Structure 1
């Protein structure tokens, strides 16, 4: 993929995540929370080995599966597109690494096992909205990464992803700021749902509108002088 393999970075993040997790192993009790209620109180408990190691495993498996799905579909892409796809393939690993290090492990070892909700939401805003939005602007048409739906066409791809990327970035910045001000509970949860799902709904709407405009243009009679 453009002379570099994102699996190398994914493997490095996985290894570091495993080392940090092993280092914290004896600080955690035999059972740790894996799910919390809206007020960040532990709700679902699992054995320590599962609760501490399932995210490091996913840190490798998710981006590796994504890489294997896309690697053979982008040979004709330009350097900028391949570079952005590199970033998007490694994105799940970065997000899960940060979540493991700064969310799951602190919750596992602290006495009350409270969930660092603000850190988690800020992490979503930074990586799954801002970083995602920035990179999809430069991705060329493919069937795996981007705004993929029945209305997305090659002819509308660049314009759609430029607009959608900006929407993701703006929503990410807003959510990142709100993560430190909204009360933990329903306000923060609703803000997260609205600002994470909203860009996807807007993107699908943009794709549909573009497809309708193209279809109407194709139906218009040719007017000649």
Structure 2
């Protein structure tokens, strides 16, 4: 698990690309510049690790495009110590970004193969989530609610109501909604029953899987 000067240089170029696309949050940019994305991918993809593209990571899942990770992270407006629920741990790259931003991360993964791999891998890089859970993201994590933020890293055909109910007042849910193409959507909880909704254009994600057990 090497992180060389060359990798660091490539990361800085990636930060510039993401910046040029409109990301302004300095903490998010710092996280993208610090995390060794190449270590989250199979060695065959090393040359592609610092391109602004999504790549397959096995189990029919992908590591998200860095711009998408930065975009979602920026929308969350994380403050140090915030409780954040992540739906779809995947490779753990977004989890690492949330940790770098100072969040207490609770993350749920539906694919057992990825869950096992990522829960062993993240601590090796020094990223310790409060909880990594193998389970169904559609139902959230009621026992740890409320959350300051919830991020969904897969395309949801609809907005799962448990996720909205598990947001703290003032909390933010960032979720890509749609079937083949998703609209990045932000919900802000203003009161027990009042949610403000904002939409931010089209993105493509792998589908959010329900628990079929």
Q: Which has the higher helix share?
A: 1
TM over 0.5: no
Give TM-score, length-normalised by structure 1. Answer: 0.30
Q: Which has the higher strand share?
A: 2
Structure with higher RCO (Cα < 8 A, 6+ apart): 1
Give TM-score, length-normalised by structure 2. Answer: 0.31
